[in-house]
Chains A and B, each alone.
Chain A
Amino acid sequence: MSTRITIDPITRIEGHLRIECEVDGGHVTNAWSSGQMWRGIENIVKGRDAREVWLFTQRICGV
């Protein structure tokens, strides 16, 4: 019988991360990680002047 564990939020990292894992007899049999935040920077930079795209992509992560 496997149990499913969810850890959300994962702290001490930048961003919002969620980890789910399946544990069976003390062994992790399957695991999923997912980012819980999306800003759509890919869509924001579409069609912009190439000289200012760095302004946006630079701010994907501030760490």
Chain B
Amino acid sequence: MKMNDLDVFRELLGGVSRRDFLKYFTIMASSMGLPLGVGAKMAEAVTNPKRPSVIWLSAQECTGCTESLLRATHPTLDHLILDLISLDYHETLSTPAGHQAEEARQKAIRDNKGKFVLVVDGSIPVKDGGVYCMIGGKPVLQIVKETAPQAGAIIAIGSCASWGGVPSADPNPTGATPVHEILKGTPVVNIPGCPASPYNFLSTVLYYLTFKKLPELDDQGRPKFAYGRLIHENCERRPHFDAGRFAVAFGDDNHRQGYCLYKLGCKGPETYNNCPSILYGDVGSGSWPVGTGHPCFGCSEKGVGFTAPLHALANIKYLTPNTFFTEAYPGKPETTSNIKALGAATAGVVIGAAGAAMLVGLGKKGNDTEEENKEG
């Protein structure tokens, strides 16, 4: 990337230094498990004078996802939204209202046909012809169906848009439906979470802008870089779980000691997300539910959040073998009991450290494409 591009950019960013700017994209790249050089490539993609158009449609939502995106305080984040991406339509943030807002949306669609990123937050009510969510007198169901075929990429942000979330909770009074079910056959990236992590969203947008394709997704349409692992795998309380130290009531001694919250109903063992490593709100360590002492309730996981009873025990997906398991070759000379005891004690520490290392290696193994590996 040329120096003068960056200078122009620096102005756009309101005086953010070149170093901070590149650092930001390098962090973004590494949070996706991409090689370091990709950060510069991403920076180049967004310095393109024609800012990529983003059209944001709101359905049955609470604006929590928008709020979490706006509250992210990483130095260049607000600039990213306001100066780098062209957020051409967003009901909560747009200046025009009424028919002017509708015209702005139509124009943005026309001008950026086939190229814009369509973001949808909130579920789509289908019951009674979609009357439970109307914009400008039109059901949002119809608006989403009309807009989607013109988009370059579609992202469903938040649990509501990804799998139904709160509005779809039993008895689902309005027939709240996730975006991918409305748009069957069209690829939709799901970024679940209530609210969704702004970094998981922004990383996906940056990936698309840089490589002109979507990141690798799992069977539920979630980017693997963010949802490839269980919360339980990277939780800072995991050593307590493995050692059998649990809080059994809110405020008891064990709770105050920071013990594992499994017995209070923590759904970390069945929820795929990167909360323990990415955290929320950029306010430092511990700023995620388990970090504050509340069990994870699986807000991002279909069939868990808003579905499983809050204080019921989670289904543990993978059990860690404990030290009492019998050996295959008892008395084999190479494995002394000392080493085994040491192994058990350090296992917890290693798992804890893995959490800290997450930011650098988010579980992307051997699937980098040639493009991603090219130096930027």
A interface residues with partner B (beta carbon < 8 Å): 6-16, 18, 36-41, 43-44, 49, 51-52, 55-56, 59-63
B173 CB–A CB distance under 8 Å = yes
Q: Which residue of A lies closest to B166 (CB)?
A: A59
| A49, B312: Cα distance in complex, Å | 12
B98 vs chain A, min Cβ distance (A): 4
| A40, B98: Cα distance in complex, Å | 25
A14-B62, A16-B133, A36-B134 as given contacts; A56 in contact with B166, CB under 8 Å = yes
A12 vs chain B, min Cβ distance (A): 6
| A43, B358: Cα distance in complex, Å | 40
Q: Tell me which residues across on chain A come within 8 A of B63, comparing CB atoms.
A: 14-15, 61-63
B17 CB–A CB distance under 8 Å = no
Set A11, A37, A39: member contacting B101, Cβ < 8 A: A11
Number of interface residues of B (CB under 8 A): 42
A34 vs chain B, min Cβ distance (A): 9
B368 CB–A CB distance under 8 Å = no
| A18, B98: Cα distance in complex, Å | 8
B323 vs chain A, min Cβ distance (A): 36
Q: Are B97 and A10 in contact (CB under 8 A)?
A: yes
| A49, B311: Cα distance in complex, Å | 10
| A11-B93, A11-B95, A36-B134 known, 15 other contacts, Cβ within 8 Å | A6-B98, A9-B97, A9-B98, A10-B98, A16-B91, A16-B134, A37-B134, A41-B167, A44-B166, A44-B170, A49-B310, A59-B166, A61-B63, A62-B62, A63-B67
B55 CB–A CB distance under 8 Å = no
B254 CB–A CB distance under 8 Å = no
Q: Tell me which residues across on chain B come within 8 A of A62, comparing CB atoms.
A: 61-68, 195
B198 vs chain A, min Cβ distance (A): 13
Q: Tell me which residues across on chain A come within 8 A of B194, comparing CB atoms.
A: 59
| A29, B276: Cα distance in complex, Å | 55
**Does more than half of chain A's interface fall in helix, strand or loop, or is it mixed?**
loop
A40-B167, A44-B171, A62-B67 as given contacts; A12 in contact with B92, CB under 8 Å = yes
| A24, B58: Cα distance in complex, Å | 34
Q: Tell me which residues across on chain B come within 8 A of A11, comparing CB atoms.
A: 91-97, 101
Q: Are A40 and B166 in contact (CB under 8 A)?
A: no
Q: Are B174 and A49 in contact (CB under 8 A)?
A: no
| A2, B272: Cα distance in complex, Å | 57
B40 vs chain A, min Cβ distance (A): 35
Q: Are B309 and A39 in contact (CB under 8 A)?
A: no
B60 CB–A CB distance under 8 Å = yes
B72 CB–A CB distance under 8 Å = no
Interface members, chain B 282-316 (any A CB < 8 Å): 297, 306, 309-311
| A8, B176: Cα distance in complex, Å | 22
Q: Are B166 and A41 in contact (CB under 8 A)?
A: yes
Mask: chain B, 171-203; 1 = CB below 8 Å from A; 0 = not: 101101000000000000000001100000000
A9-B135, A16-B133, A51-B310 as given contacts; A39 in contact with B173, CB under 8 Å = yes
Q: Tell me which residues across on chain B come within 8 A of A9, comparing CB atoms.
A: 91, 97-98, 101, 135-136
Q: Are A13 and B92 in contact (CB under 8 A)?
A: yes
| A18, B170: Cα distance in complex, Å | 28
| A13, B91: Cα distance in complex, Å | 8
A13-B92, A38-B174 as given contacts; A61 in contact with B135, CB under 8 Å = no
Can you report 20 residue pairs joining A to B where beta carbons are below 8 Å apart? A8-B98, A8-B134, A8-B137, A11-B92, A11-B94, A11-B97, A12-B95, A14-B62, A14-B63, A16-B133, A36-B133, A39-B174, A40-B167, A40-B174, A44-B167, A51-B310, A52-B310, A56-B169, A56-B306, A59-B64
